Amino acid sequence: MKPRHTPAGKSVTDLILATFRLNGRLLAAGDQLTRDLGLSSARWQVMGALVDGPLPVAQIARNMGLTRQSVQRTVDVLAQEQLVTFAENPYHQRAKLVLLTERGAKLLEEMTRRQATWVNQLAKELSPHELSAAVRLMDTVRQRLEKPAGEETRYG
């Protein structure tokens, strides 16, 4: 017998597919927005994680929902381009802190300026209330996915 979705399960499936499509468009738009600066959405995302201060690679990955390995590769490229540097971590001998260089901070400031202009245009005529509700819904789904299998969500 073929498994059937509940109405809510069908809606979550639709949300997941819409999220995948939106993510692809956002990455493409981010790449376009930063192309002339020699950056990509992935580099921008990692640099943006450092706006409030230095973090170890593993924490950047956790905060952004990325793998540690992909963040490490991006950080290594950013370091080669002198956009980030490393500092001793007082809490962990081997896990260095990643921090923006002065050049990296200036580049991030320019990207943030561009993003604000772009997103303000994108947000025209969208309801802040509906957007906030969408963010809450996506956060709820993300939190359920972060729970260990069997605790909240069972597969199969």
Q: What is the pLDDT of residues 55-86, one digit of tens each?
A: 999 999 999 989 999 999 999 999 999 999 99
148 DSSP 8-state letter: P
* CATH number, domain with residue 124: 1.10.10.10
Give yes or no for a contact between 83 and 49, defined as CB atoms under 8 angstroms apart.
no
Q: Quick check: helix, strand or coil at residue 58?
A: helix
Residue 45 belongs to what domain range? 27-140
Q: Is residue 3 part of a domain?
A: no
Q: Is residue 77 part of a domain?
A: yes
Q: Is residue 15 part of a domain?
A: no
Question: Which pLDDT value is given to residue 153?
Answer: 52
Query: pTM (2 decimals)?
Result: 0.81
CA distances from 21 to 2, 11, 12, 26 (A): 26, 15, 14, 9
Mean pLDDT of 85-94: 89
Q: What total of structural domains would you count in the chain?
A: 1
Q: Is residue 148 part of a domain?
A: no
**Residues 6+ away with beta carbon under 8 Å from 13:** 5
Q: Please check the confidence at residue 94 and state whether its pLDDT lies above 90.
A: no
pLDDT greater at residue 152 or residue 44: 44
What's the pLDDT tens digit per position in 129-142?
Answer: 999 999 999 999 99
Q: Is residue 116 part of a domain?
A: yes
Average pLDDT along the chain? 92
- Helix residue ranges per DSSP H, the chain: 7-34, 41-48, 57-64, 68-80, 102-123, 128-146
CA distances from 82 to 56, 96, 105, 144 (A): 17, 16, 11, 38
Terminal CA-CA length for the chain? 14
Question: Which pLDDT value is given to residue 150?
Answer: 57
Structure tokens at 35: 């192309």
Q: Is residue 1 part of a domain?
A: no
